[in-house]
């Protein structure tokens, strides 16, 4: 039965009003901010922007951001695979509670995420004196930045994979194993092909957050230029020093990363249509 247009579509004037409101709203909140980053970065021309990205401090920040993501993302994948395998393929009491705990970092303010590591590893923290004696720096150093990043990205891969694996059940794996496959072999040839798109999707979002995290990293970093500055922190420093071209040039680089993430995300959503609500 075809829809009759008069009864289930809005009148033309309503459509125009709604679209106009949406356009103004999205322009003010999403589109103009995005455009303005590139505009401000190029205010003094492309060479000035490129120069800002090429300074030694900026390059150190880019390197640290890449290093952080290179540790946090694989950790997240390993954890996500373990957690989703345990949760989705087996029955045990307290499962919903465990899922809630895995999701917990999403409900914690990024600043609190940084604070907890200062309290544990800081000079006055639980392990502070011991770390000081052994000359190990965690807070205000790279390990703290990595830890804080792992905390804020903790649920990303797991929350993608758990529902996906639950949907797929255990029959295929059980069949593979009853035919003599080992557990790992069953995972590689049966589970992995089923979850690869979901896994990629989780990795993509995890990576974007890992590279872009600000609040948690800001608390544990100590803001030492060239040493413990990630790209978002470098943006903050330049901005507070009124070096707007520099701040927006590095910001534009991060924007570019965000846009690439969104494009890849759309591609993945076409590769595997999602029936459920997305988001962090």
Partner 1 sequence: MTATYADSRDKPRRPLIHRRSAIPGFGITMGLTLASLSLIVLIPLAAVGLKAAEQSPADFLHAAFNERALTAYRLSFGAAFIAAAINGVFGLLTAWALVRYEFPLKGLVNGLIDLPFALPTAVAGIALATLYAPNGWIGSLAEPAGLKIAYTPLGVVIALTFIGLPFIVRTLEPVMRDLSADVEEAAASLGAGRLDTIARVVLPALAPAWLTGFALAFARAVGEYGSVIFIAGNMPYKSEIAPLLIVIELEQYDYAGAATIAVVMLVVSFAMLFVINAVQAWARRLSA
Query: Which CB, 127 or 226, lies closer to partner 1?
Result: 127
Query: Which CB, 82 or 136, lies closer to partner 1?
Result: 82
CB of 59 to partner 1, least distance (A): 18
* Coil vs helix vs strand at 136: coil
CB of 53 to partner 1, least distance (A): 14
CB of 100 to partner 1, least distance (A): 6
CB of 61 to partner 1, least distance (A): 12
Query: Which CB, 186 or 200, lies closer to partner 1?
Result: 186
CB of 273 to partner 1, least distance (A): 11
Token pair for residue 273?
A: 């249509």
Tell me the C-alpha distance between 78 and 83, whole Å: 9
Tell me the C-alpha distance between 50 and 249, whole Å: 7
Q: How many CB atoms lie within 10 A of CB 132?
A: 11
Token pair for residue 80?
A: 């996500």
Q: How many CB atoms lie within 10 A of CB 96?
A: 9
Tell me the C-alpha distance between 190 and 170, whole Å: 10
Query: Which CB, 195 or 254, lies closer to partner 1?
Result: 254
Cα separations (Å) of 121 from 67, 104, 162? 21, 21, 32
Query: Which CB, 14 or 70, lies closer to partner 1?
Result: 14
CB of 54 to partner 1, least distance (A): 19
Token pair for residue 44?
A: 């003094």
Tell me the C-alpha distance between 168 and 111, whole Å: 37
Determine contact, residues 158/83, Cβ cutoff 8 Å.
yes
Tell me the C-alpha distance between 196 and 176, whole Å: 18
CB of 107 to partner 1, least distance (A): 4
Query: Which CB, 38 or 55, lies closer to partner 1?
Result: 38
Tell me the C-alpha distance between 59 and 230, whole Å: 10
Query: Which CB, 36 or 50, lies closer to partner 1?
Result: 36
């Amino acid at each position: 039965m075809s829809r009759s247009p008069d009864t289930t579509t809005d009148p033309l004037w309503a459509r125009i009003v709604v679209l106009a409101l949406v356009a103004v709203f999205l322009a003010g909140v999403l589109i103009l901010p995005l455009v303005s980053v590139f505009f401000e970065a190029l205010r003094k021309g492309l060479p000035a922007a490129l120069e800002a990205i090429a300074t030694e401090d900026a390059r150190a920040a880019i390197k640290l951001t890449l290093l952080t993501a290179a540790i946090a993302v694989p950790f997240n994948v390993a954890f996500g695979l373990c957690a989703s395998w345990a949760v989705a393929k087996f029955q045990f009491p307290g499962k919903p509670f465990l899922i809630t705990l895995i999701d917990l970092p999403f409900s914690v303010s990024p600043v609190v995420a940084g604070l907890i590591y200062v309290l544990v590893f800081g000079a006055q923290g639980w392990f502070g004196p011991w770390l000081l004696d052994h000359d190990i720096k965690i807070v205000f150093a790279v390990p703290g930045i990595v830890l804080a990043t792992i905390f804020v990205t903790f649920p990303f891969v797991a929350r993608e994979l758990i529902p996906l694996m639950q949907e797929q059940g255990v029959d295929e794996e059980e069949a593979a194993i009853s035919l003599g496959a080992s557990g790992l072999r069953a995972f590689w040839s049966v589970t992995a092909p089923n979850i690869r798109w979901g896994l990629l999707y989780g990795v993509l979002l995890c990576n974007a957050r890992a590279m872009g995290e600000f609040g948690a990293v800001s608390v544990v970093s100590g803001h030492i230029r060239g040493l413990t500055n990630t790209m978002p922190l470098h943006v903050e420093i330049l901005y507070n020093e009124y070096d707007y071209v520099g701040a927006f040039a590095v910001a534009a680089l991060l924007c570019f990363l965000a846009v690439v993430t969104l494009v890849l995300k759309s591609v993945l959503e076409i590769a595997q249509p999602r029936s459920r609500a997305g988001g962090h």
